[in-house]
Structure 1
Amino acid sequence: MTTDVTDTGLGTIRAGILGGGFMARVHRTASRDAGGELRAVATSSARGGRAAAAALGAERAEADADALLDASDIDVVHVCTPNTTHADLALRALAAGKHVVCEKPLATSAADAKHLADAAEARGLVGAVPFIYRYHPMVREARARLRRGDAGDLLTLDCSYLQDWMLLPTDDDWRAQSASGGASRAFADIGSHLCDLIEFVIGERIRSLSARTRRVFSERAGREVDTEDIVAVLVETESGALGTLLISQMAAGRKNALTLELHGSRQTLRFEQERPEELWVGAREESRLLLRDPATAEPDSARLQRVPAGHAMGYQDAFNGFMADVYATIGGAEPDGLPTFADGYRSAVLTEAVLDSAAHDGRWVQLSEQDHVERVEVQA
């Protein structure tokens, strides 16, 4: 079972949420599930804040972000606002002595993300980023099996994250403009999840990549678009495994199709986020479908399984598991696999590497062990 905040000895954690959209609702639900209390909400306007507070069931609405950050009865701030506001709000929250859960991307530049990771560490505060697909039990099952060597040596990766919510020229969103969403859309929005999950599961990092991007429409709903719709990436990991990554928000019929297929020298493991109760295990002699079951799961998988086998778990359950670990960490626990601001920084580094490569006709970009992009060089 997931660690409950009530097990930490800290008492009730008091939360404040910046933002009032879909992700704010998900955070609210996960916070309550972890035993937290939603004290306050603030949005970009006082009127919007009142509406969001009522919808989310908060004790009160604050007039603006400053008022929420200054509040003495808030322990953790959840940043669920447009991307380009994340770094400033998260840094101000840390300066106010609050723990922070910040939606990805943590920042729209690697430099800002590094500053945030350093600030959280220096102040001894918890900074977490919701790379919540780590919290599907069958993801932890795949990770455990790779760790103990069941699959053998990792050879190749075939991974993708496909959606269709931007398929039509009439489909629009604030993320389509870099002024509010940052320089990258498809990769920063969903490719970041994919790469985080890959590195988390395989236990090693992407050391080099080559990327191409595509923007299908120059305008959406009459507004100019300056971010990408589709990204294709070739990667090489630290052990030499080669992989292909396809990220698209224009794949008709695909709603949230995050897929990891990892080919080892003895087994292949395949996880599909839209079928989270399953893990496909392929071998030369036979292949089988492993179904979620806490009675037979690896310990790290079993602790996240809140219901018996046959009772489906999904996205909100994964988010709840993440938030329980965040709140437990605030109370002094050290749960395995919590994505922190350091992971948010890593994601920003990868995003810049992808954009850098695409801007130079897909030439290879090296990523150093120090987590920054080295000078772009053409590999022979």
Structure 2
Amino acid sequence: MDPAAAPEPDRSRVSARIGGITPSATLAVDAKAKALKAQGRPVIGFGAGQPDFPTPAHVVEAAAAAVRDRANHGYTAAGGLPELREAIAVKTLRDSGFAVDPGQVLVTNGGKQAVYSAFATLLDPGDEVLLPAPYWTTYPESIVLAGGVPVQVTADESTGYLVSVEQLEAARTPRTKVLMFVSPSNPTGAVYPREQVEAIGRWADEHGLWVITDEIYEHLVYDGAEAPSMPVVVPGLADRTLVLNGVAKTYSMTGWRVGWLLGPPDVVKAATAYQSHLCGNVSNVAQRAALAAVAGPLDVVATMREAFDARRKRIVSLLSEIPGVHTPTPEGAFYAYPSVKALLGKEIRGERPADSVALADLILRAVEVAVVPGEAFGTPGYFRLSYALAEAELVEGVTRMGALLAEAR
């Protein structure tokens, strides 16, 4: 069955907490595109946020060797293999300048578990989390599942999708406990400059807030941009900061499911106790593969970054040629986030899409191109397009979409 077409849960049969979850829109779009491709349709999908490069050969070989090693056939420490936690600590100091001990590292089943565990460990019912938008779809769901209340703080293309201290302060209440901070950003590709990271960090420190910072795209920056780690820029925040990361994007290992959470020892100890009941250790084979990745060279990410940079320039150029589409140039990650607000309500092939969900549906039906509407990221009127796909497909897909949208009247 197409996952996107699965029946809605019966609210009387599942808890309100779980029944209220909105499935991942990005995965749903990707599943729909793949299902259509399986039917022989020439669908081009811009939905999935994963590199189209293979996992490095030395990482795959490390996993193959791990499978044959009996030491990996049984339970291991819930917090992660000691060698991997040590390597992550070394890698973190090397890449961002943030010094942590191995005891401050929790290895998780991918970045998503790190996100949920961070909120589950910090939040009590009713605690508010300032959530800059556009945001990744998993953040608000994880906050709500952990009993928290997401408070959206919206930035648009006029500021390059960067929120200001003034906006954050206006949204802060006595119930505010956490700021979710992401740079480089999914879905916009926005990168906060050092001075803005410092200003936001000092503001959070002044008000005694926790910061959860997702650094999964740390190495994918362009045009000389840098993505400094907030606890490095504002050292006083280190005792109230959780840093989330993983091997998925840097090493093209999305399916291996290895992420991590870094933070103060007492919080990491609590999160590890939670994980010991939730799932126990992450797959030992995947951990051995991750060890080979983080302890190895960064040449693979340099190669990917060069390719992504070329695609980034191409997709922005192509999107900017479409009347009614406004596309800020992303400085990081591998996403473009164009505004399509000027096209809403206009007639296209006999239809007048009122929102970006309807417009995305029309594009899929009419020209077989799959994009994720901005509603999934808290900001209607936009599309997210991942450019982590072959350039020929990228050009064909945007060209098809552009020809359709040019018909708008």
Shorter-normalised TM range: 0.3 to 0.5
Q: Which has the higher strand share?
A: 1
TM-score, normalised to structure 2, is 0.30
TM-score, normalised to structure 1, is 0.32
